[in-house]
Structure 1
Amino acid sequence: MYAVLVFVAVALLGTHASNVNRHMKLLDMDNHIESKLKPSPQTKRFITITKRPAARSTHVAGSTLELTCEAIAAPAPSVHWFRNNAPVYEYDKESNEIIDTNPSSLGRVSSTLLVSRNEAPCEYTCLIVAGSKTARASTIVYSSDITSELTERSKLVPLAPKILVSYKVFVDVIGSNIVLPCRVKGHPRPIVTWKDNSGNPVKKDPRMKVLRSGELVISSLRWSDMGEFSCRATNLFGSAEANTFVYPARPNDTDG
């Protein structure tokens, strides 16, 4: 089904076709995924984990271990982390505006958990949620002991920004309202800014709004929105950037 999107993009964009094709390849639309989509319209909804933590990981005292999960799903997925089955909140979520993912969307998400302390072997799990479907991947983290004094002190250590959650590719139907995440961590708290597919600050477009959480809301998605949107997080100690390629699909491109 979604292979049609690539064909349409190539046919309509001409000289931009190679750029679209390069980004759409991030969706891993290989024979394995296509085989899930062919039997019937009901198979449009799916989750495929494309990157998962190692089965076992080691945390060195005084350092930060990064655990990363990536997945492609329809509708576009969200990732939730657990430590020994308890939720882990790795970033500040200050926005009161909650917008559900559109059922017509498809995306590839990347989520990273930072483990700065781990006194005993613990199981960390990333839970990917796409509509009513879920998938998970787990790792057991082993590490040396670390004192509580060091742990409390480490909370005040300067930290350059790290972008923990973002979409690499996001597809949705023209006219939809979409949300692109840019979840960050840093100390002092990073400032998050976005640029549109022309490299302009999004504050110049009334259809686009950056929430306090760092998410970018695009209202009434247009064909002209196709391209790479960039999120940048900055504080006194550095900056980080993540790019999301947005593909506005025509409604008939997502049929069966």
Structure 2
Amino acid sequence: MYYITLVVAAALLGGGCRSANVNKHLRMLPHIDNNIESNVVATKQSTMVKLLAITRRPKLHNPHPPGTTVELTCEAYGTPAPSIQWYKNDAPVYEHDMESNELVDTNPTSLARVVSTLLVTRTDTRDQYTCLVKAGMRVERASCTVYRTDGSTEVTERSKLLPLAPRILVSYKAYIDVIGSNVMLPCRVRGHPRPTITWTWKNNNGTSGTVTKHNPRMKVLRSGELIISPLRWSDMGEFTCHATNMFGSQYANTFVYPAKAG
């Protein structure tokens, strides 16, 4: 078990707007939602048991017409922060620019809600896909089928170079970890040309900015992840990954909550 003391200070949560903002994001992590009290100086200790749940599963049956892309999405929350890996007919899938699976190392004290999308461009008559979610020693899975309709869905090497607006395929929606931890927030992207990834932040106290190479605590990796080292209480707020190329852009928000260890 993991013990995290969630300190909700009146200086940060005393205002109704700020309180509502924090609670709105923490509802994505139902295990701790009731442990947060707003508008009161309070210290709560919560037993963070090892838990894992899939909250969104891919549709069981997915037709794949020729010339189209099928999107399979899996979403889960858990502690430690879960990872998602996709399998096609029991074989792991690796087929986009940076990694098709969420393989970020997570801290044992972390809790997160992760979303992962797989883009299926080719189907051999009928294929089974499985979303495998891991959190510590716990494992959950959700399976579905993708079946070809009329015509071939085979993707040529040339077609892989066609213009593609950025798609963010892996990200956290919410993330909690102990103050002082080294944090990695994923932002796995597919696109052609290869998208440029930038991160911005907006703290709960109203300040905002862009992560630059001169930031001593925050660094954007080539693969798109944001490193925060170490995590501070002042980091509480929303971090946004922006993926851009000449054909479009997309963004994904991650709400980060630093917690005190008990």
Shorter chain as normaliser: what TM range?
Answer: 0.7 to 0.9
SS at match of 1:239: strand
Residues 69/163 of structure 1: CA separation in 2 closer, same or farther (3 Å cut): same
1:228 is the counterpart of 2:238: yes
SS at match of 1:18: helix
- Which residue is equivalent to 2:68? 63
Alignment of structure 1 residues 187-198 onto 2, 5 Å: 187-197=192-202, 198=207
Alignment of structure 1 residues 14-163 onto 2, 5 Å: 14-15=14-15, 16-29=18-31, 44-93=49-98, 100-144=105-149, 145-146=151-152, 148=154, 151-163=156-168
Residues 223/3 of structure 1: CA separation in 2 closer, same or farther (3 Å cut): closer
Residues 2/160 of structure 1: CA separation in 2 closer, same or farther (3 Å cut): farther
1:206 is the counterpart of 2:216: yes
Asked whether the 8 Å contact 1:11–1:17 carries over to 2, the reply is no
- Which residue is equivalent to 1:175? 180
Q: Which amino acid aligns with 2:86?
A: W
CA distance in 1, matches of 2:226, 2:145: 34
CA RMSD, aligned part only?
2.5
- The offset of 1:91, in angstroms, is 2.9
Aligned residues: 238
Asked whether the 8 Å contact 2:97–2:194 carries over to 1, the reply is no
- The offset of 1:205, in angstroms, is 2.3
Asked whether the 8 Å contact 2:5–2:260 carries over to 1, the reply is no
- The offset of 1:9, in angstroms, is 6.5
User: Relative to structure 2, which stretch is displaced further, 108-117 or 84-93?
Assistant: 84-93
Mark the runs of 5 or more structure 2 residues left unpaired by the alignment: 34-45
CA distance in 2, matches of 1:214, 1:187: 15
Q: Which amino acid aligns with 1:193?
A: T
- Which residue is equivalent to 1:249? 259
Render the CA deviation track for 1:118-148: whole Å, top value 9, x for unaligned: 1210000111111111111010111133164
1:185 is the counterpart of 2:167: no
The structure where helix makes up a greater share of residues is: 1
- Which residue is equivalent to 2:43? none
SS at match of 1:151: coil
Render the CA deviation track for 1:36-70: whole Å, top value 9, x for unaligned: xxxx95x7111100000111111111011110000
CA distance in 1, matches of 2:223, 2:194: 11
TM-score (norm 1): 0.85
Render the CA deviation track for 1:172-225: whole Å, top value 9, x for unaligned: 000000100000000111011101224311115210000111000000100000
Residues 10/115 of structure 1: CA separation in 2 closer, same or farther (3 Å cut): farther
Render the CA deviation track for 1:150-186: whole Å, top value 9, x for unaligned: 5333212100000000000000000000100000000
Asked whether the 8 Å contact 1:227–1:247 carries over to 2, the reply is yes
The structure where strand makes up a greater share of residues is: 2
TM-score (norm 2): 0.84
